[in-house]
Amino acid sequence: SGNGTCVVTGAAGFVGSHLCRRLLDLGCRVIGVDNFFSGHRDNMQEFQDHPRFFFHERSVTERNLLSDLAVDYGPPSVIFHLAAIVSVPYSVEHPQETREVNYLATVRLLEEARNLGCSRFVFAGSAAEYGNDMRLPLKEAYAGGETSWLSPYGEAKYRSSKAVGACGYGPRGVALRCFNIYGPRQDPSSPYSGVISRFAELAVQGEPLTIFGDGRQTRDFVYVSDVVEAYCRAAGLDPSAPKVPAGIYNVGSGTRTSVLELARLILNLTERGESIRFYPERPGDIRHSVASIDAIQAAMAWRPHISLEEGLRRTLRWM
Ligand code: UD2
């Protein structure tokens, strides 16, 4: 079914909305699904009236979601499944709901995609699948086995990525284990928002940046447009590109940045002095995280193009 129709779950989310925009630019027909649990209608503003965009306010936990959509639009060729409970602390408070939304719904969508004859299923995995694994850089094969997940979120994402990437029948499944994604439209308003959106907002408001712990913890930050490019390659949307094998792939910059370095970079870019306040370490925080990106480089010739400094400039311009 190569009709160029894609379903994007989580279309009103931070990454989902950027993905929809790009798919429309590539000429696809895009069916967006979101229940606004954490997504925002505003995120879809610049494309919601596009003639090839169709939006449905529905939940991925609804049975027959894809077959219902197929009645109106025909069977889609690609499913991008990004909808999820995105807050790690919320998942700790609601483990059963997290399992239903972040794992069981994935398995059901995968089965529906198979029944509809979809050719690809691309899933939003997470660095949280590695739990407390400290063998850096993190390689795809590490997660599982001895892994102790630090949250129901990490566990559900792991199970989903496995189900998608190891599915040897039905659509070709690719799970993208994304590290710390940042960029415009990332919601800065919650205390659990990504550190970059928080720091950017605080800097623009003239408030001191809040570092939890000593600031020497490191993360692998990857700009949203680079992540979107990985989704498109994983989906095989460019027919001239070599076919991407099913499986699980890290998506990150492959470099580590400490939270302190990040704070200084943002303070420099916003021409603020050293305005940092230190708070106790956040419970459950991992110390270091960085992706090995050899596998995605080999399979999709993907590499990040936007440097942290350039990505921060773009994010700050949007604020
Ligand atoms: C990321 C993901 C999360 C999950 C997790 C798995 C984001 C937004 N979250 O959490 O969904 O996949 O990885 O490991 O991508 N920090 C401060 N000050 C602040 C906010 C944060 O110092 O105001 C610190 C925080 O304590 C942590 C680091 O910055 O050490 C990154 O925090 P985060 O919430 O952006 O992302 P992370 O890696 O905890």
pLDDT averaged per 10 residues in sequence order, the chain, 319 residues: 82 98 97 97 98 98 97 97 95 97 98 97 98 95 92 97 94 98 92 90 95 97 98 91 93 98 97 92 90 97 97 96
- At 285 the pLDDT is 86
Nearest protein Cα to ligand 1, atom 31: 195
Residues in the chain: 319
Query: Do residues 254 and 292 lie in contact, with contact meaning Cβ atoms separated by under 8 Å?
Result: yes
Domain span at 89: 5-182+222-252+290-305
**What are the C-alpha distances in Å from 68 to residues 3, 10, 29, 31?**
17, 17, 17, 12
CA distance 219 to 259: 7
CA distance 315 to 319: 7
Q: Is residue 148 part of a domain?
A: yes
ipTM tops the 0.85 cut = yes
In the Cβ-directed half-sphere of 86, how many Cα atoms lie within 13 Å? 22
Considering 153, 158, 223, 231, which one is annotated as catalytic?
A: 153
Element housing 31 (H / E)? strand 29-33
- At 247 the pLDDT is 98
Q: Is residue 189 part of a domain?
A: no
Q: 313: CA distance to ligand 1 center in Å?
A: 20
- The residue among 10, 180, 7 whose CA lies nearest residue 82 is 10
Element housing 265 (H / E)? helix 259-269
Ligand 1 pocket, mutate which of 88, 180, 277, 278 (most atoms under 8 A from CB) = 180
CATH of the domain at 58: 3.40.50.720
Nearest protein Cα to ligand 1, atom 14: 128
| 214 burial via Cβ count (<10 Å: 0-12, 13-18, 19+) | exposed
Q: Is residue 258 part of a domain?
A: no
Q: Is residue 259 part of a domain?
A: no
Q: Is residue 276 part of a domain?
A: no
Asked about 153 being catalytic, the answer comes back as yes
Q: Is residue 134 part of a domain?
A: yes
CA distance 97 to 46: 32
Nearest protein Cα to ligand 1, atom 9: 194
Q: Is residue 17 part of a domain?
A: yes
Nearest protein Cα to ligand 1, atom 1: 180
Query: Is the CB of 25 within 6 Å of ligand 1?
Result: no
Query: Is the CB of 150 within 6 Å of ligand 1?
Result: no
- At 256 the pLDDT is 97
- The residue among 108, 194, 106, 114 whose CA lies nearest residue 157 is 106
With a CB cutoff of 8 Å and minimum separation 6, the contacts of 248 are 125, 140, 161, 162, 164, 165, 174, 175, 177
Please give the tally of structural domains in the chain.
1
Q: 258: CA distance to ligand 1 center in Å?
A: 12
CA distance 136 to 142: 10
Q: Is residue 68 part of a domain?
A: yes
- At 272 the pLDDT is 86
- At 208 the pLDDT is 96
